[in-house]
Amino acid sequence: MQALTNRAKPVDRRPMTFMEKLYVPAIAKGMGITLKHLFQRKATVSFPEKKRDFSPVFRGLHVLNRDEEGRERCTACGLCAVACPAEAITMEAAERKTGEENLYREEKYAARYEINMLRCIFCGFCEEACPKDAIYMSETFAPSNYQRKGFIYGKDDLLIPDPKTGK
């Protein structure tokens, strides 16, 4: 039969020699290997004390962006929710009233904006879909929680602090 790849190796089916049947040399060899590993550098990263850097393109927890004057950029167009393959994003739009110009950049804004972090697959499609540069993925991940509802992140969890007031 013709081999499918050139990586195939024939199996040695010769009967075992006396030394091989003794097993003791093979066991000694194995013990040598484990002894060597006893003193080798350990692969463990002691997590809470030492943290490994994420890759520069890591897609972590979402943030909702504000512009330079601290106004929310999101206009609740819904493109992120449409793009989302996991259907993790829910939003409700509202109209900006007079007097709220310092809060919202456009005439329409998201009154409710929720991402279910248990559904989210962190693909980054929302970030790509957003025409207003309102949603970005940060470099952290969702902390653990005891309840499912703790993983539904609302606007107060997602919005970054106002650059002017700082909260």
Q: Footprint of other proteins on this chain (CB under 8 A)?
A: 27, 30-31, 33-35, 37-44, 46
Give the integer Cα–Cα distance in Å for 84 and 105: 24
| Binding-site positions | 74, 77, 80, 84, 120, 123, 126, 130
> Shortest approach of other proteins to residue 36 CB, angstroms?
9
Check: CB of residue 111 under 8 Å from CB of residue 93: yes
> Shortest approach of other proteins to residue 32 CB, angstroms?
9
Comparing CB distances to other proteins, the nearer of 17 and 40 is 40
> Shortest approach of other proteins to residue 63 CB, angstroms?
33
DSSP annotation of 89 reads: E
Q: Which residues contact 78 (CB under 8 A, 6 or more apart)?
A: 91, 93
> Shortest approach of other proteins to residue 43 CB, angstroms?
5
Q: What is the DSSP string of 99-156?
A: T-TTTBSSSEEEEEEEEETTT-----HHHHH-TTS-EEE-S--PPP-SSGGGGEE-HH
| Binding-site positions for [4Fe-4S] cluster | 74, 77, 80, 84, 120, 123, 126, 130
Comparing CB distances to other proteins, the nearer of 5 and 40 is 40
Comparing CB distances to other proteins, the nearer of 40 and 144 is 40
Comparing CB distances to other proteins, the nearer of 3 and 35 is 35
Give the integer Cα–Cα distance in Å for 24 and 10: 26
Cα torsion angle, 141, 143, 148, 151, sign: negative
